[in-house]
Amino acid sequence: MENSLLLGLVSYVCVMSITPGPNNVMLMSSGLLFGFRRTCPHMLGIPLGMIAQLWLVAAGLGVLFAMEPGLQLALKAAGSLYLLWLAARLWRAAEMEEARASRPITLLQAVVFQFVNPKAWLAAATAIAAFTPPGGGYLSHLLVICLVFVAVGLPCIAIWVGFGAALKPWLRRPGVALRINRAMAALTGLTIILFWI
């Protein structure tokens, strides 16, 4: 891959990975509830799911999504329902201890969530379209794209986990835990809007 194309790819992955979205809100919430170490499987599942999506888009699934708008609608609906369920779970937790007693999202759950996350599909389709040349070298470019999504994306999403984990000391103050919990639930619910714009 040429240096200019690689620089564009790195910039693209950085922007897509660090900007707010469903994954980052869930990661921040998990960092807050469970800490950095216990959120690592969730954090690792995101780029693994992304790699699977990149390969599927490269194999032609992106064309299917473009031709069948109903599939996009189904993805948005499934992703929205999942986020509503997570937000409701957070909102109903009367105290942070109740939320903390639950378990963090697993690696497999994080991988599967990527398949109902329209932002992730859009990122994969755009990356394949923009950073793979027509003709030769397609496979090598695809491998580089996958590596960049891990090497650049992982540190970007780790920032969100770290931010959530940094808020943990505030949880010891009376009433703060409930307000933070409700704020995380509201943010999780609000990310649904990102699916539909």
| pLDDT single digits (tens) 73-120 | 777 777 778 778 777 877 776 555 555 557 889 999 999 999 988 888
**pLDDT given at position 11:** 92
**pTM higher than 0.75:** yes
- Residue with token string 């329209």: 118
Closest CA relative to residue 50, chosen from 190, 139, 152, 137:
152
**pLDDT given at position 74:** 77
Given a contact cutoff of 8 angstroms between Cβ atoms, the answer to whether 37 and 185 are in contact is no
**pLDDT given at position 101:** 56
What whole-number percentage of the chain has pLDDT above 70?
A: 88
In a 10 Å sphere around its CB, with 0-12 CB exposed, 13-18 middle and 19+ buried, how is residue 112 labelled?
Answer: middle
**pLDDT given at position 195:** 62
The DSSP 8-state label assigned to residue 168 in this structure reads: G
**pLDDT given at position 107:** 97
Given a contact cutoff of 8 angstroms between Cβ atoms, the answer to whether 148 and 10 are in contact is yes
pLDDT category of residue 183 using cuts at 50, 70 and 90: confident
Q: How many helices (H) and strands (E) does the chain have?
A: 11, 0
Tokens, residue 84 = 């509503």
Average pLDDT, the chain: 84
120-168, pLDDT tens digit by residue? Answer: 888 898 888 888 877 777 889 999 999 999 999 999 999 999 999 998 8
**pLDDT given at position 84:** 81
**pLDDT given at position 33:** 83
11-66, pLDDT tens digit by residue? Answer: 999 998 998 888 998 899 899 888 999 999 999 999 999 999 999 998 887 677 66
Given a contact cutoff of 8 angstroms between Cβ atoms, the answer to whether 27 and 43 are in contact is yes
How many CB atoms lie under 10 A from the CB of residue 70? Answer: 9
Closest CA relative to residue 141, chosen from 57, 67, 48:
57
